[in-house]
Amino acid sequence: MISEKQRVAGISVFAAIFLTGIKLVVGILTGSLGLLSESLHSGLDLVAAVITFFSVRISDSPPDKEHNFGHGKIENFSAFLETILLFITCIWIINEALHRLITGDTNIEVTTWSYVVVIISIIVDFTRSRALSKVAKKYNSQALEADALHFSTDIWSSLVVLLGLICANFGFFFADSVAALIVAFIVIVISYRLGKRSIEVLLDYAPREKLIKVEGVLNAMPEIETFHSLKVRTAGADTFVRVIVTLNPQLRMDKAHEICDKVEREICKVIERCDVFVHVEPLNQKNQPLIK
């Protein structure tokens, strides 16, 4: 059975195919660098959408002997690949735009189809971005979030291209190349943010907001004397928490076990899809409060 994540990722692939095709055809017919840069952008978005589709399928696979912590990081890796593709797009757009501005070869043919393509693109990008964002938030999927980011970026870049076409219609043909440069700038900014987040997860960067949530749970439990060696990392939609808690040495083993179970339940209430491991130590002179 196809999951909701796979379904929304699959629809995005077809949307990217459609947008890439119409932008490329009209861009070639009109000679618009803005539309050609947008078609290349959408083409790499298509590659990214395909990567996202397969990464979502793999990431939902259960842990196995070779991947004890599951396959969640494939989503983060796919997001990193998307970042590289976006930077490649920017290099081509900037190079071509600067060449046209320097040589003065900026004339383009603006037709009704130019406007139709851009407006259709904005509508499709808007609907796909909302759908992807909704499912990404629901399942905490960075791959779908990255895909949503691609489509939302396309909205702004398409608006810039639309402005360039309007200016070119009044004889300001250089505006098309300027619009392409603005598209490249937008893509660079978004790519940097996306790439930074992907690399952080791949390097097991501790997510601060989740650390704060876990510390809040531990501090709120009177049964825990102290806690230390708290470690939090994420992989795709999954979060892994490791912590050492110190308890009253007079507690029976079954009672200590109940407290550990309670810690796991409380943390899982504030962080979805969370795997918690709690190690218990008896409180003594060496176990002084480090955080609490």
Q: Tens of pLDDT along the chain (292 residues)?
A: 457 777 888 888 888 888 888 888 877 877 766 677 777 767 777 877 888 888 777 877 777 777 777 777 887 887 788 788 778 777 877 887 788 788 876 555 667 777 888 888 889 888 988 888 888 877 777 678 777 877 777 777 777 777 777 877 777 777 777 777 887 787 788 778 878 888 888 888 888 889 999 999 999 998 888 898 899 998 877 889 999 999 988 888 889 899 999 999 999 999 888 899 999 988 764 545 444 4
Helix (H) / strand (E) containing 145: helix 142-169
Q: Do 181 and 213 share a structural domain?
A: no
Bridge partners of residue 275, in order along the sequence? 240
Q: Do 175 and 271 share a structural domain?
A: no
Q: Do 156 and 39 share a structural domain?
A: yes
Inter-axis angle of helices 142-169 and 33-59, to 10 degrees?
170
Q: State residue 153's pLDDT score.
A: 73
Residue ending a domain, among 142, 170, 202, is 202
Q: Is residue 109 part of a domain?
A: yes
Place of tokens 């383009």: 108
Q: Do 257 and 185 share a structural domain?
A: no
Q: Is residue 67 part of a domain?
A: yes
Q: State residue 290's pLDDT score.
A: 41
Length in residues, the chain: 292
* Sheet of strand 238-247: strand arrangement: 226-235, 238-247, 274-282
- CATH code at 252? 3.30.70.1350
Q: Is residue 288 part of a domain?
A: no
Q: Do 249 and 157 share a structural domain?
A: no
Type of residue at 108: I
Helix (H) / strand (E) containing 244: strand 238-247
Distant-in-sequence, close-in-space partners of 158: CB < 8 Å, separation ≥ 6: 38, 118, 121, 122, 125
Q: State residue 267's pLDDT score.
A: 93
Q: Is residue 159 part of a domain?
A: yes
Q: Do 149 and 134 share a structural domain?
A: yes
Q: Do 31 and 51 share a structural domain?
A: yes
Residue ending a domain, among 179, 202, 225, is 202
Q: Do 250 and 215 share a structural domain?
A: yes
What is the distance between the alpha carbons of residues 132 and 120, in angstroms, rounded to a whole number? 18
Q: Distance from CA of residue 249 to its chain's centroid? A: 45
245-276 burial: b if 16+ Cβ within 10 Å, else e: bbbeeebeeeebeebbeebbebbbeebebbbb
Q: Do 217 and 153 share a structural domain?
A: no
Domain that holds residue 176: 4-202
Q: Do 192 and 98 share a structural domain?
A: yes
Q: Do 236 and 99 share a structural domain?
A: no
Q: Is residue 287 part of a domain?
A: no
- CATH code at 11? 1.20.1510.10
Q: Do 212 and 198 share a structural domain?
A: no
Q: State residue 241's pLDDT score.
A: 93
CB 144 within 8 A of CB 135: yes
Q: Is residue 134 part of a domain?
A: yes
Q: What are phi and psi of 244, to 5 degrees?
A: -110, 125
- Per the structure, the count of domains in the chain is 2
Residue ending a domain, among 168, 183, 202, is 202
Q: State residue 242's pLDDT score.
A: 93
Q: Is residue 290 part of a domain?
A: no
Q: Is residue 291 part of a domain?
A: no
Q: State residue 36's pLDDT score.
A: 74
Q: State residue 183's pLDDT score.
A: 75
